[in-house]
Amino acid sequence: MAGEPRLKKTRNFGVVAHIDAGKTTFTERVLYYTGRTHKIGEVHDGTAVMDWMEEEQQRGITITSAATTCQWKGQTLNIIDTPGHVDFTIEVERSLRVLDGVVAVFCAVGGVEPQSETVWHQADRYRVPKIAFINKMDRVGADFSAVLQQMRQRLGAVPLPVTIPMGAEDAFAGVVDLINMQALVWEEADLGAEYRREPIPEDLAEAAAAGREALLETLAEGDDHLMELYLEGEEIPAKDIKAALRRACIGLELVPVFCGSALKNKGVQPVLDAVVDLLPSPLDVPPVQGINPDNGESEARQADDAAPLSALAFKVQMDQGRKLVYVRIYSGVIKSGAEVFNVAKGQAEKVARILRMHANKRERLKEAKAGEIVGIMGLKNTSTGDTLALRERPIVLEPIDTYEPVISVAVEPKTVGDQEKLEASLAKLSDEDPTFKAREDEDTGQTIISGMGELHLEVLVHRLEREFNLVVNVGRPQVVYRETVTTSAQVSQSFDRDLGGTRQVGAVTLAVQPNPRGGGNTIRMAADPEQVPGEFLPVLKQALEEGLDSGVVMGYPVVDTGVTLSGGKFQPGLSTELGYRLAGSLALKKALEEGKPMLLEPIMKVEVIVGEEFMGEVIGDLNARGGAVESVEPKGGGNIVKALVPLKAMFGYSTALRSATQGRAIFTMQFSHYDHLEDKKK
């Protein structure tokens, strides 16, 4: 297999976590210890290499996923550092789609937080093997075993500690390596680049022995060779333990857990070793699956330079006005200056330049091979989720899921002359970010931008100013609603009119009915072929799909609605495609009106961490906002209040919460589902 030795030594992995768990701080240490950078960048100073956008440096958070490549122990590591804020979940989604493994970072104090759950389940959906790093062991309130317990309860994971902490909070001194049964102690002088292996301190001997016993017991359950050695009481070599751990990790049976403090430069190298020893190479994951568009059959492509090209464009970024497309190559080779075929668009694209990325810096390459993640310039029509292949050997890989925006604001340029520039700039931003939409309101003529949250839109408005020199006025945030029907309705509708000198005739009978909440839309074509001949069905189905894009209450998209085409009337020589299409559109509109339509609003999952003394105020306020409190769980010295609250009631909540709790409570919020909240409260 061409490229096999290189592929065996390649690891494509991402760093994921809840906001403020220390992902970027961890990644900065990785870059320093691997020799990729010569000084450690810090998030709080705005000098982190991976947070290269001005917005990121000012806010101290990661907004866009950044890719880099470095070397560790003869292996090539392609790393993607992803955002932890829920508003930028699409960045995590599209990164996980192309990665072979992840390092999930947890805060030893905060534990498994809401966005930790979201990214974990995203990784589960793509069947991505995981390693966990419990960070911030030096912080007051750090609790290693509590985080393990939360991983079991909230994530349904099987965490298996491979290192355990030596002390916690101010007394955190290093970690115990349970595979080699040694203490690892880091040198302060050289920013943690060197560490010593020492005998395990006496006060930790019992905990280390218990930890190793649990490690061996768990691994032996799924490994016959290890079980044999374990039952015979023989000393088990480290290489056998790592082999069993690797198999179980890649098989998604368990999650190896490490601990440390990235900010204090302790515990990072064992995680790097684990990336090499435990996470899969491109050869260890199943061949990528796709559909051959020529015959509709499923096809697999091996990770092999000699195989036909298959690559997925997973991220688009505007780079000084030019389009930079991030691509994961699954098979074959892409050469600079060559032509590739965008299968989704049915267009040939010219590869102008291939770049190995290091955040916003890059290195030019002549070619990129299977298993690599690179940036490509020159792909004018390629969007997120498009497949690149050879024209003569096309394949369509599974596209990337996106999310529907839940919040909108109106924007207008300060000067009328900038309207065209605004439209062009918004088009570029929405090309970059599939969760960002821009449209013109037909009634008011205003430009409406929609996104995943207030922070998402705020960042995009600042980028308009910074990157496109466009100052805009911004309206108040508006909720993006959905519409649905509450009862079944059946209508018959005919259309018979002269249009453009041609008589257009069509007649249909269709019904609408409510689907379960979250069940999505369904369209069933069940008409007798004598009433609606087969050649008219595709155009009719398209008309019904388009009709559901705009409801009859306020023009919002219709969701959770079933449409059944049950009949019609065919008149030979008179019935036309356009006639059926227009009859279908009119019938759907009429059926939606008769189906007792209603608005659905976005319901947010809100978690508030608050001390006992302010519990009453917080719960009372959430109830006053129309929320439904689902549970109250103890955490540390306080409680976590979990509630479902309409998004419209959450604008400005952070200020209200600070005021009600003297600044002592924090909250997180993420989209849950669309619903009629009154139904939830019954």
Distance CA 631, CA 380 (A): 50
DSSP string, 542-570: HHHHHHTTS-SSSSPPB-SEEEEEEEE--
Q: Side chain identity at 117, as an amino acid letter? A: E
Query: Residues 676, 679, 682, CA angle at the centre, nearest 5°?
Result: 155
Per residue in 314-325, pLDDT (tens digit) is 888 877 667 888
Burial bucket for residue 437 (CB in 10 Å: 0-12, 13-18, 19+) = middle
What pLDDT score was predicted for residue 442? 67
Distance CA 424, CA 428 (A): 6
Alpha carbon of 396 to those of 188, 338, 346, 484, 584: distances in Å?
51, 20, 11, 33, 32
Backbone angles phi, psi at 163, to 5 degrees: -125, 150
Q: What tokens appear for 294 in the block?
A: 């020529």
Q: Give the closest residue to 310 by CA, choosing from 370, 250, 364.
A: 370
Please name the helix (run of DSSP H) or strand (run of DSSP E) that holds residue 582, with its range, or none. helix 577-594
What pLDDT score was predicted for residue 24? 79
Give the other-Cβ count within 10 Å of 441's Cβ.
Answer: 12
Distance CA 421, CA 423 (A): 5
What pLDDT score was predicted for residue 189? 66
The two beta strands, 522-525 and 478-479, are unpaired
Distance CA 175, CA 165 (A): 5
Distance CA 65, CA 126 (A): 18
SS3 386: coil
Distance CA 484, CA 195 (A): 61
Whether residue 127 contacts residue 252, with contact meaning beta carbons closer than 8 Å, is answered with: yes
Please name the helix (run of DSSP H) or strand (run of DSSP E) that holds residue 208, with its range, or none. helix 202-221
Per residue in 638-670, pLDDT (tens digit) is 788 999 999 888 887 877 887 888 777 777 777
* Helix (H), strand (E), coil (C) string for 442-504: CCCCCEEEEECCHHHHHHHHHHHHHHHCCCEEECCCEECCEEEECCCEEEEEEEEEEECCEEE
Q: Side chain identity at 550, as an amino acid letter? A: S
Distance CA 675, CA 482 (A): 9
Sign, Cα dihedral of 147, 148, 150, 156: positive
Q: In the chain, which stretches have pLDDT less than 50?
A: 43-63, 679-682
Q: Side chain identity at 229, as an amino acid letter? A: L
Whether residue 566 contacts residue 509, with contact meaning beta carbons closer than 8 Å, is answered with: yes
Whether residue 224 contacts residue 250, with contact meaning beta carbons closer than 8 Å, is answered with: no
Terminal C-alpha separation, the chain: 61
What pLDDT score was predicted for residue 290? 92
Burial state string for 226-262 with b = 16 or more CB within 10 A and e = fewer than 16: bbebbeeeeebeeeebbbbbbbbbbeeebbbbbbbbb
Q: Give the closest residue to 486 by CA, choosing from 515, 510, 511, 509.
A: 515
Q: Give the closest residue to 338 by CA, choosing from 316, 366, 371.
A: 366
What pLDDT score was predicted for residue 401? 72
Please name the helix (run of DSSP H) or strand (run of DSSP E) that holds residue 32, with its range, or none. helix 23-33
DSSP 647: G
Per residue in 118-133, pLDDT (tens digit) is 788 888 888 899 999 9
How far is it between the farthest Cα atoms of the chain?
96
